[in-house]
Amino acid sequence: MDTDMDTPQGVIAGHRPASRALATEAVHAGRDDLARQGLHAPPIDLSTTYPSYDSRGEAARIDAFAETGAELDGPPVYARLGNPTVARFETALARLEGTESAVAFASGMAALSAVLLVRASMGLRHVVAVRPLYGCSDHLLTAGLLGSEVTWTDPAGIADALRPDTGLVMVESPANPTLAEVDLRAVAHACGSVPLLADNTFATPVLQRPAEQGARLVLHSATKYLGGHGDVMAGVVACDEEFAGKLRQVRFATGGVLHPLAGYLLLRGLSTLPVRVRAASETAAELVRRLAADPRVARVHYPRIGGAMVAFEVHGEPHEVIANVRLITPAVSLGSVDTLIQHPASISHRIVDADDRRDAGVSDRLLRMSVGLEDVEDLWADLDQALTPVRTGARATMTTA
Ligand SMILES: *Cc1c(COP(=O)(O)O)cnc(C)c1O
């Protein structure tokens, strides 16, 4: 079998196309072999195991995987070692982020866990991190569930916080939920030889490609914008092939694999990612203008980079706004085609100690909204009626970065 022609892995190795624009990659990456196979939609391979009459050959391939973690040459062996449908999504995401490789996991938290385990297995258990992070990422580090020890600092303190056993520096930009931004290039410089992990869930590669700015690891909760329809849970790390090999070995040994159906849905989600992110960002920017001019709103957070996430603080009770929305769905998560709103201090960041949360700029009045693809006037009408009971105060202040 000519594996270069027949497997998506072969497409990476043997038929990597010349550089194409993001919108083109979004619909073609991970699918380059389909036309030659007489297919249009990518096949979903649900096999957990694969027949082979050559056990000597399998022994050699498993030895090679144990050595480098490189994707298996030739047909798959067992679904925990790799799946062709998931590999299509990985190929596509790596192309969009501009990295050599990407490794997919069952959730964003499984992806972050695998990164921490890779570094801990090398004796590098210390993590330097900048708040705010997504609530559960903060919790995983603070609680030391995987044996890591965290030093929290601001971006300017990173270089001083590094120790000989520092295995990772972690930032989110824009951060969940305040949309605070860090200068990724400056942070990457401060990290020296320690890998910088940038959580790019909020920006997506449409707005920002952290690997180009020096981040060695780009993490996504693919549950959010990459899937884009609120029906897939997944995580992925885009990185160089050397680190990807270690992540695949951890994934193989710990089992946080992505299901092939999820891989299929994610690949489909990527094809509309640029269109979705740009359309929702335009609507978000208009809602930001209206919120910032509204006397019921105390403060609006919106990053310089733009995007479809908006955070704002009301003068009155944030719980009332949540209780009053009708078109907008009051729910945690983000990045779906429909607009969601939630109260971070109650839900997404509840697990973070209240003082740490407030120190990170997550006020008890903060609401986080993920703007979807609805018409802007319908969204504003809903926000306007949901805000009505809130008592008015001074004009809103606008915060960027
Ligand atoms: C949701 C989220 C995560 C965790 O991802 P899951 O897919 O829910 O495990 C990590 N980082 C950010 C920024 C998130 O929003």
* Four-way CATH pick for 274-399: 3.30.360.10, 3.30.950.10, 3.40.640.10, 3.90.1150.10: 3.90.1150.10
Q: Which candidate, 281, 265, 279, 290, places its Cα nearest to that of 395?
A: 290
223 lines ligand 1 (CB under 6 A): yes
Choosing from 33, 138, 199, 382, the catalytic residue is: 199
Measured from the CA of 137, which atom of ligand 1 is nearest? 10
Residue 326 Cα to ligand 1 midpoint, Å, equals: 26
pLDDT the model gives residue 16: 58
Separation between Cα atoms, residue 292 and residue 359, nearest integer Å: 24
Placement of tokens 């929702």 in the chain: 280
Residue 108 Cα to ligand 1 midpoint, Å, equals: 5
pLDDT the model gives residue 9: 43
Q: Which of 136, 171, 202, 334 to mutate to test ligand 1, by most ligand atoms within 8 A of the CB atom?
A: 136
Measured from the CA of 333, which atom of ligand 1 is nearest? 1
Domains of the chain by residue range:
8-272, 274-399
344 lines ligand 1 (CB under 6 A): no
Residue 400: pLDDT over 70: no
Measured by CA distance, the residue closest to atom 2 of ligand 1 is: 221
Whether the full predicted model's pTM is greater than 0.75, yes or no, is yes
pLDDT the model gives residue 12: 44
pLDDT the model gives residue 19: 83
Measured from the CA of 234, which atom of ligand 1 is nearest? 7
* Residue 302 appears among annotated catalytic residues: no
* Residue 63 appears among annotated catalytic residues: no
pLDDT the model gives residue 92: 98
- How do residues 117-136 score in pLDDT, each as one tens digit? 999 999 999 999 999 999 99
State phi, psi for 69 to the nearest 5 degrees. Answer: 75, 10
How many CB atoms are located within 10 Å of the residue 249 CB?
22
85 lines ligand 1 (CB under 6 A): no
Q: Residue 396 — very low, low, confident or very high, per pLDDT cuts 50/70/90? A: confident
Average pLDDT over residues 65-90: 96
Average pLDDT over residues 174-185: 98
Q: Residue 388 — very low, low, confident or very high, per pLDDT cuts 50/70/90? A: confident
How many CB atoms are located within 10 Å of the residue 49 CB?
10
Q: Does domain 8-272 have CATH number 3.40.640.10?
A: yes
Cβ neighbours of residue 182 under 8 Å, at least 6 residues apart? 130, 155, 171, 173, 175
Contact of 159 with 166, CB cutoff 8 Å: no
